[in-house]
Amino acid sequence: MRLAAVSLVVPDYAAGLAFYVGKLGFRVTADIDQGHKRRITVQAPNGGADIVLARAENAAQRAVIGAQAGGRVWLFLQTDDFARDHARMLAAGVVFEEAPRIETYGIVAVWRDPFGNRWDLLQRNMT
Between CA 40 and CA 21 the distance in angstroms is: 11
Do residues 40 and 14 both lie within one domain?
yes
Domain count, the chain: 2
If asked whether residues 26 and 73 sit together in one domain, one would say no
Q: In the structure, what pLDDT confidence band is assigned to residue 126 with cuts at 50, 70 and 90?
A: confident
Which tens digits make up the pLDDT trace of 80-118? 999 999 999 999 999 999 999 999 999 999 999 999 999
Domain that holds residue 13: 1-65
Q: What's phi and psi for 11, nearest 5 deg?
A: -65, -35
Residues 43-77 pLDDT 10s: 999 999 999 999 999 999 999 999 999 999 999 99
Residues 72, 126, single domain; the answer is yes
Q: Same structural domain for residues 58 and 73?
A: no
